[in-house]
A and B are shown apart, each in its own frame.
Chain A
Amino acid sequence: MRAVCACLIGWGMLAAPFAVAQGGSLTLPRTVEAGSAFSVPSSGSGKATLYIVGLGQVLKRDVEMGQAISFPLGTLYSAGHYITVLVKDSSPAESGSFDVIPAAKPADVTFLARPSRLPVGLHGGITGAGYVFDTYRNLITAPTQVTFELSSPKGANQTRTVETRYGAAWTEMDSTPQQGTDKFVARVGDVSSMRIIGQVPGDPCSLKMSARPAGEQIQVQTEPVRDCSGNAVPDGTIVTFTETYDGGESTVDVPLKRGIAEVKMPARPGAKLSVASGVVLGNEIRWEK
């Protein structure tokens, strides 16, 4: 009875017998679920050697023909195609084959997410791909639902559920408007894998500067520089001040410090002062003093 149950658990729906000369035969399953217990009934008599050979595993068993050959739980666990050979003294070897299929229950998601850091408010800026594996590290190729979730500390969530094809699923997400550290999760049932995505302020949205005399020079200074979502642009971002005067031009690159950029430039009556950062141009000031 136990052997019969093991057969039912481990076998696929169809079985293909192959015969051994001089009164022996095995009835092989067409498929076995990875890691499951199963047994192979045999007929005939005498001793034989059974080989099960695949790229994922190799087994060799001395068997007694006429008895069921039992394979306990976890014996054959690597998914793939296996050939079998039954060798019996003074008989030609008999061959067959069957497949080991991945276990149905997901046990792991390999999650590839990019980038680890990006500007806020970027449409489709975050991508993730997941591969679903069983407990024996076999790729589960049956269609499986994978849920991707991007959540920010302020509670904003984006969720997509995608069905795997050939064991893989992918998605695109938008980066959120607020800077901070988001969690990007791929989930299959109760199995999940998480990546951290840092969202940093984008490029400056606008630039505004003011100028005032500072002795023989002009002190130019921006207002606090922010991106289009209102996040402070990080210190170190380069702001370029340009002074254009009679036939000449001088340029100074200044990193943002505590959210603003400031520098002293020579005071030249009639000079035109401008400010820019990246592709954003700020206001212009004509210095008349």
Chain B
Amino acid sequence: MVFRSLFMMCTVLAAMPALCAAQADVRVEPTHLQGPRALQEQTQSAAVRDYLKAWQTLGTAMDRDDAGLLDQDFVGTARDKLAETVQQQAALGIHTRYQDKSHDIKIVFYSPEGLSLELTDDVQYEVQMLDHDKVQTTQQVHAHYIVVLTPAEVRWRVRVFQALFE
């Protein structure tokens, strides 16, 4: 009995690195908002959750060269630009694999009417580029992103998604 429990625990622990590898470390810094509108904790959690989900979506869309996947989490300028990139990749026979490793998120602006929320993300990710399924490069990237989210029916969608030069 004890042996069986020990075996199961070892199995779970052995599986953990694989699970952890797929999950990015996320840190959300305390908010120092400009603007008069208070940000409720639930709103912040929902926006961060939906933003992180958007990273998963863009990873899948870029890997599969499927722009349609973007619609669930991106809208407006961000959606158009990412979709254009997917189309360019498909035309060139390229696909890319993005895997976010860590996020350091800070919410910097919540517009007074509640129709947009802006955050910055000090993000580390891995990008692998394949040309006709041949891996050409794998790079670790550390970049600073600025993101504007807007509320949709039941979720926040990314409207602006742009790396900043520092």
Contact = CB atoms under 8 A, between A and B. Distances in A.
A55 B118 contact: no
B160 A131 contact: yes
Contacts of A30: 165
Interface stretch (A2-10, A93-101, A228-236): A93-101
B46 to A, nearest CB: 19
A168 B109 contact: yes
A113 B115 CA distance: 9
A128 B111 CA distance: 8
A122 to B, nearest CB: 14
A138 B35 CA distance: 23
A58 B116 contact: no
Nearest to B112: A127
Contacts of B85: 54-58, 78
Given A78-B81, A83-B127, A101 B165 contact: yes
A44 B71 CA distance: 45
Given A53-B127, A114-B115, A139 B146 contact: yes
A168 B165 contact: no
A184 B73 CA distance: 31
A114 B112 contact: yes
A57 to B, nearest CB: 6
A190 to B, nearest CB: 22
Nearest to B88: A58
A59 to B, nearest CB: 8
Nearest to A30: B165
Interface string A202-223: 0000000000000000000000
Contacts of B116: 112, 129, 131, 168
B104 interface: no
Contacts of B98: 55
Contact of A83 (B94, B141, B148): B141
B162 A168 contact: no
A30 to B, nearest CB: 8
Interface residues of B, number: 42
Interface in B14-38: 34-36
Contacts of B88: 57-59
Contacts, number: 131
- Tell me what chain A mostly uses at the interface: helix, strand, loop, or mixed: strand
A139 B160 contact: yes
A87 B136 contact: yes
B82 A131 contact: no
A161 interface: no
Contact of B111 (A57, A137, A168): A168
Contacts of A272: none
A170 B141 contact: no
A166 B145 CA distance: 11
Given A56-B85, A57-B85, A139-B146, A129 B165 contact: no
Contacts of A83: 127, 129, 137, 139, 141
Nearest to A81: B163
A137 B77 contact: yes
Nearest to A99: B165
A51 interface: yes
6 contacts: A30-B165, A53-B94, A81-B165, A124-B36, A129-B109, A137-B80
Interface of B: 34-36, 58, 62, 77, 80-82, 84-85, 88-89, 92, 94, 96, 98, 108-109, 111-113, 115-116, 118, 120, 127, 129, 131, 136-137, 139, 141, 143, 146, 148, 160-165
Top 4 closest A-B pairs, CB basis? A114-B113, A127-B112, A129-B111, A81-B163
